[in-house]
Structure 1
């Protein structure tokens, strides 16, 4: 168990790995075209139907935002081409969940181009975790179809703007640039012009448009852009970059995956139906037709399983780099006690200060890749002081009955590795 404990300590403490970060990559620029989007533009020239995937967080998920606006721009710019889109944006999530989602939510629909937007939600994560997840997304994509083009896009928040204004990339985007550079993937700083306009005094990041008629008001909360302003600036930046890449003289060539950038990347990440797990106790299946929580999360899960009985558990026998659950958090959730090989336990809180409503969430814990592990996700019998937790955000239990239950939910098993019979 010492080796397992050491891996878990490394995972959560994130000591910085030593990778060369050249000054060229640190500098923020609208576009680094690298090998461009050769197969995408080849299909455009041929007038063939094109599927565009958008993998990201809430900024990508947003209706009327840069995702929809950029697809509309493509349709207007290339009217002879039928464009369709895949909306794989999930609010509040980064590349560490995106690498699990990309197969079923994007790649199974055979995209020709995939935009990857995680710089905001990966902010604060250590570079090594970003390397693992972003490289996993790249290798999964090209392992399935080497003709699928990829493009990393970097959005921003008000907190990240000063870094751009100094001509530098935030740490999350810089980590992604390492992967982009290694694989020749183009990257676009969607927020560079936004930061410049703010520096010039022409844009404010937070407010109501009617309160500042002489300014461009980016958003209501410093993060999520208004469609007419922030998202429009993102779309204009992407359109400018796409025009530049359309002029590249790049001959499409089948991609061959090279040696990984990091050997412990998450290419093997998978989402697995919880039906495949051993269940002990009173787990019940809930669907949008039978349960209000499942209905609230129906865009994330077609169904969930749930137990409120302490001691009930889900069990998986696995071998690989990491294991966890894609689940739900909200007023009526408690916590898991995660047991690894029956001699290591870790509490996984499923209630936090944002649990006034239900939302999808996830957790992943590293495992020793050279060992077979039996992992149990057990409903904890420890009570959660929900009132105290909510108070940290000045929130209260306005309807105490909604908070009485201490249930655990599960939607998908998250696994970097394989299930062992």
Structure 2
């Protein structure tokens, strides 16, 4: 079984705050919202159902998503459901969920984290984490995921699944999908991909006044009585309780199986036609940071001998560490988007980024939530002209004012030695394009 790094509660709360801000900054009429419907079967999952009914078949299900998928919730619940429903087949999962990340990272890591393990079915869950993304960005990323998948594994079926939060539910209370899901529906329509909105029942209960978005699960009779029979969804209005909210998500998938199965006709390879959007990220790729030129100060954190490197080995196979001022990473690429897949945390500092002949910019690898280490991405450039670009990243001698930064999220420096440092942990290059000499 392939697993992701355990998602962190602090990271989840951070993302909740981001969503509350992001969704508040976009007007509902900026993008046409589609009517809410729990299941759009479209062309179904023909290859999956054919194989599931084959005695002795080994079926891998990939789960590409954020922290809601990383939870011990709808993901393992659906895996168990499929095993019980099709007992003659053997099911296993590819857990490619990373908390606090959206399709803009998923499109770069889908090959390494999912496709290289050859799934038969892939669920894609990014509607919540893409809540603040523009529709065009969602088009690029979601279509990139689809086209990469069917180019590499034409017989792998795909299903988009959508989740909901208190911040994203207003549109659903009016009978519409939230904006992110509405954008994803355009890609699903174009490719005949089935979609399931797992939050329809959640929205229904909320509209009826029967839902408590944020509360602990009641344990005593007194606590249950105080709820007056209402359904408790989540401890934070986003990440469902395994015992309640995730059961609603499971039920939505179970209800959707018959209509999706009915729509599944002749199994066979999925054929890629013209793209929905020409600027989609079909060419997105994750390249080892060792493909760049690293100065001597950078060292490989070999997972065979380094505990920190081992911790991230299932996501970064060539994780390096640099910490000395003046250490550099340089490379050239031809393409339109570039980022560095890295880890940020208490001991990290800041880097000086130079793209082409543009003025250098200082980018901290430390934020208000850096009381622990987590995966992140350092954006070098996006929406660039498709030509050759040069990149230099240099570790700055100065540290950001970590106490001031932490205070923005009511965090404090507990042990000064933990936060002292100018470390930079690059693991890969995220690129829409190609590296060039």
- Normalised by the length of structure 2, the TM-score is 0.87
Which of 70, 79, 85 in structure 1 is aligned with 2:87?
79
2:285 alignment counterpart: 270
Cα contact 1:135–1:267 (8 A) shared by 2: yes
Q: How far has the Cα of 1:375 moved from its partner?
A: 0.9
Q: How far has the Cα of 1:292 moved from its partner?
A: 5.7
Higher mean C-alpha deviation, range 185-194 or range 297-306: 297-306
1:105 alignment counterpart: 113
Pairwise mapping of residues 305-316 of structure 1 onto structure 2 (< 5 A)? 305-316=320-331
Higher mean C-alpha deviation, range 284-293 or range 134-143: 284-293
Q: Any idea what SS the aligned residue of 1:405 has?
A: coil
Cα contact 2:398–2:422 (8 A) shared by 1: no
Alignment pair present for 1:42 and 2:68: no
1:5 alignment counterpart: none
Q: Any idea what SS the aligned residue of 1:259 has?
A: coil
- Segments of structure 1 that go 5 or more residues without pairing to the other structure are 1-15
Q: Any idea what SS the aligned residue of 2:360 has?
A: strand
Post-superposition Cα deviations, 1:93-123, rounded to whole Å, max 9, x if no partner, equal 1001101111011111111110000011111
2:169 alignment counterpart: 161
Alignment pair present for 1:62 and 2:71: yes
Backbone CA RMSD of aligned residues? 2.1
| Cα separation, 1, equivalents of 2:313 and 2:236 | 26
Pairwise mapping of residues 12-411 of structure 1 onto structure 2 (< 5 A)? 26-47=34-55, 48-63=57-72, 65-210=73-218, 212-213=223-224, 214-248=229-263, 250-288=265-303, 293-294=308-309, 296-364=311-379, 365-366=381-382, 368-411=384-427
Post-superposition Cα deviations, 1:159-211, rounded to whole Å, max 9, x if no partner, equal 11222121111111111111111111111100111121122233211111126
Cα contact 2:104–2:141 (8 A) shared by 1: yes
Q: How far has the Cα of 1:140 moved from its partner?
A: 0.2
| Cα separation, 2, equivalents of 1:173 and 1:391 | 34
| Cα separation, 2, equivalents of 1:297 and 1:420 | 28
- Segments of structure 2 that go 5 or more residues without pairing to the other structure are 1-25
Cα contact 1:116–1:151 (8 A) shared by 2: yes
Cα contact 1:320–1:367 (8 A) shared by 2: no
Aligned residue pairs total: 401
- Normalised by the length of structure 1, the TM-score is 0.90
Cα contact 1:56–1:118 (8 A) shared by 2: yes
